[in-house]
Structure 1
Amino acid sequence: MRYISWLNKHLEELLLGLSMLSFVFIMGLQVFMRYVMNNSLAWPEELSRYIFIWFTFIGVSYAVKNNSHLRVDIILNYLPKKLARFFELVGDIFFFAFSIVVLIAGINVFNTFLGTMQTSPSLSIPLAVVYLSVPVGFAFTMVRLIQNNIKRFKGIEVEREETTL
């Protein structure tokens, strides 16, 4: 049970950290090979692109978990607390519906690529693995939306992570 609780809190962070670490390592290797060894590798750019795609869709879930996804909330700041919670719920319902649409479309694309067994040019990995990032990312997003709304209904404030530019 302790491991499940830890994964619930840190799954996206773990996946994002590992993907960023591997992304930096792979691109560093490519720079070293190209400028020091004068021999460029064919696969690092392709692999880093696929890692970045996974990073992006897992990042959507992470943003929802931390309530730091893009939203226009200036109106919510001026509304009474109960009315603001209602509008947050409505927004989350629309986001959840959008996530369902993207999840279904992602599964369809994944199944199409799984059926064709098309592979990537340099790495020869099935492209279905790359396209699996969409349904996985949005499934995680849907879980996080449900968790946030359960917290809201229990009266637990879902903290927003403030960002400044």
Structure 2
Amino acid sequence: MREPLGRWPERSSNFMLAAGAVGLILMTAIIGYQVFGRYVLHSSPSWAEEASLILMIWYVFFAAAAGVRERFHIRITALENAVPAHVRRPMRWFVHTVVALAGLSLAIWGTELVCLTWEHEIPTLGLSRGVAYLPLPLSGVLMILFSIEHLLRGDPAGDEDEASVD
């Protein structure tokens, strides 16, 4: 089946997952270094906590955006399984529309948060506080695009299974 938006959604999702994995590994290493510093060297690095928190914000939002495309986000299927197949498709369209609207809110208010905090510096890192919040609008835009991709494909969140149901 031809992809409605080309190959970029798959590539960007794979990049988000890889970046999220690298962020998780880096955060784990930083926390390990902080614990080593505290208990072995008796001197904990001042930058470690802020750096790990920023990495967590980045990889969580990257994974959330990728989760929309790859359909590994949390969803409750009890209601979906309880309704007839002809009702499931409109339910899925509704769900992807709501996810796209959530992405829109992240994009709009995330951008506002980045702009409001850009001038504030994180003292221990020397970075703008806006850098910490930059993944909010980025992941919001990707959530919108990934939801649109599902809707254009015509198989939002699992319609490929409908032929075997009922």
TM-score past 0.5 threshold: yes
Question: 1:73-130, CA deviations, whole angstroms, 9 ceiling, x for partnerless residues?
Answer: 211112232320111101211221222122111111111223xx11002111001111
Give unmatched runs, 5+ long, in structure 2. Answer: 1-6, 162-166
Q: Which residue of 1 aligns with 2:116?
A: 112
Q: Which residue of 2 aligns with 1:53?
A: 57
Distance 2:123 2:85 in 1: 53
Identity %: 20
Contact 1:118 1:127 in 2 (8 A): yes
Q: TM-score, normalised by structure 1?
A: 0.82
Q: 2:17 aligns with which of 13, 25, 41?
A: 13
Distance 1:74 1:5 in 2: 29
Give unmatched runs, 5+ long, in structure 1. Answer: 160-165
Is it true that 1:23 corresponds to 2:39 in the alignment? no
Distance 1:5 1:96 in 2: 15
Contact 2:47 2:125 in 1 (8 A): yes
Q: Which residue of 2 aligns with 1:140?
A: 142
Q: Which residue of 1 aligns with 2:164?
A: none
Give the counterpart letter for 2:99 in structure 1: F
Q: TM-score, normalised by structure 2?
A: 0.81
Is it true that 1:39 corresponds to 2:43 in the alignment? yes
Give the counterpart letter for 2:36 in structure 1: F
Give the counterpart letter for 2:122 in structure 1: S
Aligned-residue RMSD, C-alpha: 2.3
